Structure 1
């Protein structure tokens, strides 16, 4: 597939300066606004092409305080998303570095003078059917509870006229629809829970109701999760995922116009750009695709190329409007530090060439929990590349992906062996070690040891 795309239409952009309690901290710059018309777009209710463009993004003071206390003062002014991962989180905050309810966050955003706030709506029935660490509170059949006790209360808050001039960026139900492509049916990676969610249709119904209901608000921008390149970049998964998203975008009263774009790499670790090799490179007369165990038969080697092709090729082919963009989570995909390769590996074999040059140092692309050696990635930035609406820190750095051993809790979160550093894997990571850090708390709770690694291995460096 082509890696060259025409630029999307973009609004002008102006510098972003954190206001309120964070005035005087480093400015988060998302470009330079060049026209009065673009300034007007920021200050009016008119919908915009890219809600990140020209916007001062909300900084969660809960996360900022935790980052400061953890030794991360230099990044404490960065915007991160607010996770709504239970019904209780709507009014009382969720675990870890998010203690305020949604209305409190929106009020604080206004107090900061922010133009936009990022939220993650994450509470589908039978949530996270291929894993256990982030299982949710709702059973597989509780779609009506999801609608009336989760989405409707969120909508009641965000539709308050007090917030009408605040762009609300909604990252929709991560790790849901992609699971219905890769972890079902006769595949070795299938799980009974994902087969059940495919059969009952409640992921599709839930996503449809989410984007239809919240999308009725002119200031809400819905971004549907598309997994990451190591998951969806395969021939059998790529277009099928876009087609399933389009089905959801037409379910429960939704239309494709309710979709502002897509979210990639959310809470994951895939490298933004692999600069030392490409999928069509040839070593010893043989293409490395199919020969390299890291690439296998995937069509992509990094998130940027995957996201651009999904937005420009797969999404329009499925029926979505042309020109939708992607927000890429770069909160933990920097892979810097002393072990970052400075060039390609030796050309003695495909494996040595790729493994010697890849920035992503995970044992396997299917590893997702508290990965050892990870670092902060690109700082939040609007419109950095064609078809990319933003690099953003959707997963707040320092918050755990899951506990490394079973920890009883009342949050509905199970123990997943992929978070256990002694685990030798399953079909979804081709039976490789998990690569997870030890002594981790349950998902969403502050994990200081991981935070320190993210700081030390940041790329670009801090």
Structure 2
């Protein structure tokens, strides 16, 4: 469920050469448009002829769609070795990059970040200075047109817009819903009453959860109880919308009930009934926060071909488009309810924090937000670290640090990531999402349910400066073996308690994942929910490329995902920070 689709990006501590060009574009724009774009090309030498390049395309004219082709030429013997966020090819010195299925459209002012790793660069090789897009050479200005065409624009409405009670941050000035089903399990644990009154997310992880199961009341039951708890005052109830076709394509532990092609069933038997219930007049005064389909869209960035972390099932979901279609549909239907606040999942810093993942994820989310009849107006914000373990803040080292001339980014733990904790990642992603086209007032949530990392293993100061790995490993709060480890992590603790508006740009710290609910089974357990045993939940597993071939760090004897895991709950309380 929490896979680390990482990629090393060697850029720190080296000379940076920058070429900036502007050019006009004809990207399937309608007649009468005035297209124009800018390209920022930055090449970072690693030595030995190896280099990396980032290419940022910004649309300066009317909105374009239908795909694009960028071309440029090298001055020497440089070769594109591996690229991302575009289809890259090279013939001699000539390089071509074409749009992918999810980034072929660019709104006015929108940007897309693409890039590649290369080889063969000589000392005197210059960066490309001339670019063409769809055959149009760089002009430096918006390209005027000589013909005028009258067009008709049709606007599709998603239903009623935000009601008069819609607020900028739903958590401010509101109580939060305490799930009685989770509270009862927590209270039954020794010492569990200390946190049983905390608000947690209600997971609608299969169609049957809407009506209710043996483990939990149904959606109507939760909403009725939320109305009772509100008692006439503002109250937030948090729902996790989590049942896409081919769900969690890279993790067997949280696979879902719907097959990859069952998008119609997802719409009519899952999203539509939820939307109908939420729209009932009895619940109009609740502030309903939805976390929409965790893991899905980030998987389409990191765990697909040609990435070394590719998973065949994720290639299927990227090809059929049902993640994007389903997320867009959910946003449109749920966003039509005036008191619903949708938050899209952005993985976590140890998954999306690398350069080749960061911007591409923001662009893909923007595409999904405008798919299936939705618009960006249906997105209240984003949520980071859902059901994961990334530390909220790392106080004893920062990304700018170096040890004996070696950057922290070169440590095995950071591995060229640009972020070391969830707060810095969330705040930076918010800015990148706005750049991708989302509204400037979008908010962020951070799931702090299991990222406290307290207890006796918690560092109290920086690590030794003998080398960069000792410095980072000795001072980091996140005590996992590897950032790619995501299942029932040993040594984890409860994190910051739910809190509204704790930091700039952050709507709330939340416990979206109810502490004590398993991430996945450590061995095969028969079930009718589509959930398999995932090796990452087996404490004896020696790892794969997505966790650097390290041990899984998982607790033993775990039940199916979502089921109560007493041993984990007790460990979370023991290692809570702030302490209970």
Q: Scaled by the length of structure 2, what TM-score is found?
A: 0.71
Specify the alignment match of 2:373 in structure 1: 253
- Whether the 8 Å contact between 1:83 and 1:94 is mirrored in structure 2 is no
Counterparts in 2 of 1:196-207, with a 5 A limit? 196-207=316-327
Mark the runs of 5 or more structure 2 residues left unpaired by the alignment.
Answer: 1-162
Cα distance per residue 1:237-294 (max 9 Å; x no partner): 001000000000000000000000001000000000000000110100121212x100
Which of 338, 343, 350 pairs up with 2:461? 343
Specify the alignment match of 1:331 in structure 2: 449
**Alpha-carbon distance in structure 2 between the residues aligned to 1:339 and 1:136:** 36
- Whether the 8 Å contact between 1:86 and 1:94 is mirrored in structure 2 is no
Give 1:408 deviation, angstroms.
1.0
Matched, 1:61 2:180: yes
Which of 238, 255, 274 pairs up with 1:154? 274
- Whether the 8 Å contact between 1:295 and 1:301 is mirrored in structure 2 is yes
- Whether the 8 Å contact between 1:231 and 1:366 is mirrored in structure 2 is yes
Which of 253, 266, 286 pairs up with 2:406? 286
Counterparts in 2 of 1:124-163, with a 5 A limit? 124-163=244-283
Matched, 1:276 2:396: yes
Residue aligned with 1:385, SS: coil
Residue aligned with 2:261, SS: coil
Matched, 1:303 2:303: no
**Alpha-carbon distance in structure 1 between the residues aligned to 2:165 and 2:562:** 35
**Alpha-carbon distance in structure 1 between the residues aligned to 2:390 and 2:487:** 12
Which of 202, 205, 229 pairs up with 1:112? 229
Cα distance per residue 1:184-242 (max 9 Å; x no partner): 01111000000010111000000000011000011000000000000000000001000
Specify the alignment match of 1:25 in structure 2: none
Which of 99, 103, 107 pairs up with 2:220? 103
- Whether the 8 Å contact between 1:376 and 1:455 is mirrored in structure 2 is yes
Residue aligned with 1:299, SS: coil
Specify the alignment match of 1:29 in structure 2: none
In terms of fraction of residues, the more helix-rich structure is: 1
**Alpha-carbon distance in structure 2 between the residues aligned to 1:45 and 1:195:** 43
- Whether the 8 Å contact between 1:85 and 1:94 is mirrored in structure 2 is no
Mark the runs of 5 or more structure 1 residues left unpaired by the alignment.
Answer: 1-43
Matched, 1:52 2:174: no
Which of 362, 365, 368 pairs up with 1:242? 362
Residue aligned with 1:262, SS: strand
**Alpha-carbon distance in structure 2 between the residues aligned to 1:64 and 1:282:** 45
Specify the alignment match of 2:204 in structure 1: 84
Specify the alignment match of 1:11 in structure 2: none
**Alpha-carbon distance in structure 2 between the residues aligned to 1:133 and 1:45:** 42
Which of 447, 470, 477 pairs up with 1:359? 477
Cα distance per residue 1:151-171 (max 9 Å; x no partner): 000011000011001010000
Which of 215, 222, 228 pairs up with 2:335? 215
Give 1:45 deviation, angstroms.
4.4
Residue aligned with 2:473, SS: helix
Residue aligned with 2:297, SS: coil
**Alpha-carbon distance in structure 2 between the residues aligned to 1:62 and 1:289:** 43
Matched, 1:440 2:558: yes
- Whether the 8 Å contact between 1:166 and 1:219 is mirrored in structure 2 is yes
Residue aligned with 1:185, SS: coil
Residue aligned with 1:193, SS: helix
Give 1:94 deviation, angstroms.
7.2
- Whether the 8 Å contact between 1:223 and 1:261 is mirrored in structure 2 is yes
In terms of fraction of residues, the more strand-rich structure is: 2
Residue aligned with 1:335, SS: coil
Specify the alignment match of 2:510 in structure 1: 392
- Whether the 8 Å contact between 1:45 and 1:165 is mirrored in structure 2 is no
Structure having the higher Rg: 2
Give 1:412 deviation, angstroms.
1.0
**Alpha-carbon distance in structure 2 between the residues aligned to 1:59 and 1:370:** 23
Q: Scaled by the length of structure 1, what TM-score is found?
A: 0.89
Alpha carbon RMSD of aligned pairs, Å? 0.9
**Alpha-carbon distance in structure 2 between the residues aligned to 1:224 and 1:52:** 16
Change (3 A) 1:260 1:309: same
**Alpha-carbon distance in structure 2 between the residues aligned to 1:257 and 1:410:** 37
Count of aligned pairs between the two proteins: 414
Specify the alignment match of 1:266 in structure 2: 386
Which of 531, 540, 547 pairs up with 1:422? 540
**Alpha-carbon distance in structure 2 between the residues aligned to 1:251 and 1:440:** 38
Give 1:323 deviation, angstroms.
2.1
Change (3 A) 1:194 1:100: same
Residue aligned with 1:384, SS: coil
**Alpha-carbon distance in structure 2 between the residues aligned to 1:212 and 1:381:** 28
